[in-house]
Structure 1
Amino acid sequence: MTLVDAHIQDRYPTRVDPGQGHGWIERHEPTVWPGVTEGPATTAELVAHARDGFHIQRDLLSQPEVAAALAELREMVEDPVIRADERTITEPASDEVRSVFDAHLLSDRIARLVREPRVLDHARQILGSDVYVHQSRVNFMPGFRGNGFYWHSDFETWHAEDGMEGMAAVSLSIGLTDNYPFNGGLMLMPGAHRTFVPCLGRTPDANYQSSLKAQKVGVPQEEDIAALAREHGIEQFTGPSGSALWFDCNSMHGSGNNITPYPRSNIFVVFNSVDNALVEPFSARERRPGFVASRDFTTLRS
Structure 2
Amino acid sequence: MSPRDLYPTRDATEARLIYRTEDPTVWGSPGYGPLTAEQLDGHERDGFTSIEQLLEPAELADAQAELERLVHDDTLEGDERVVRERASNEVRSVFDVHRLSKFFAELVRDERIVGAARQILGSEVYVHQSRVNSKPGFGGAPFEWHSDFETWHAEDGMPRMRAVSLSLALTENFHFNGSLMIMPGSHRTFVSCVGETPEDNYKSSLKQQEAGVPDQMSVRLLADRHGIHQFTGPAGSAIWFDSNCMHGSNGNITPFPRSNLFIVFNSVDNALVEPYAASSPRPEYLGSRDWEVLR
Deviating above 4 A after TM superposition, structure 1's stretches of 4 or more consecutive aligned residues are: none
1:221 equivalenced with 2:215 (yes/no): yes
Equivalent residue number for residue 3 of structure 2: 8
Overall identity of the aligned pairs, in %: 59
- The TM-score with structure 1 as length reference comes to 0.95
Equivalent residue number for residue 252 of structure 1: 246
TM-aligned CA deviation for residue 202 of structure 1: 0.3
Equivalent residue number for residue 172 of structure 1: 166
1:17 alignment partner AA:
A
Question: Where do 5+ consecutive residues of structure 2 fail to align?
Answer: none
Equivalent residue number for residue 133 of structure 1: 127
Provide the rounded CA distance (Å) in 2 between the counterparts of 1:95 and 1:232.
36
TM-aligned CA deviation for residue 35 of structure 1: 6.4
Q: What are the Cα deviations for residues 197-252 of structure 1, in whole angstroms up to 9, with x where unaligned? A: 10000000000000011101101100000000000000010010000010000000
Q: How does 1:57-96 map to 2 (within 5 A)?
A: 57-96=51-90
Equivalent residue number for residue 27 of structure 2: 33
Equivalent residue number for residue 106 of structure 2: 112
Aligned length: 294
Q: SS of the counterpart of 2:16?
A: coil
TM-aligned CA deviation for residue 23 of structure 1: 2.2
- The TM-score with structure 2 as length reference comes to 0.97
Equivalent residue number for residue 52 of structure 1: 46
Provide the rounded CA distance (Å) in 2 between the counterparts of 1:199 and 1:37.
38
Question: Where do 5+ consecutive residues of structure 1 fail to align?
Answer: none
TM-aligned CA deviation for residue 36 of structure 1: 7.4
Provide the rounded CA distance (Å) in 1 between the counterparts of 2:235 and 2:29.
32
1:290 equivalenced with 2:284 (yes/no): yes
Provide the rounded CA distance (Å) in 2 between the counterparts of 1:196 and 1:255.
19
2:100 alignment partner AA:
L
1:24 alignment partner AA:
L
Q: RMSD of the alignment, in Å?
A: 1.1
2:8 alignment partner AA:
P
Question: Contact 1:133/1:271 (CA < 8 Å) preserved in 2?
Answer: yes
Q: How does 1:159-198 map to 2 (within 5 A)?
A: 159-198=153-192
TM-aligned CA deviation for residue 96 of structure 1: 0.3
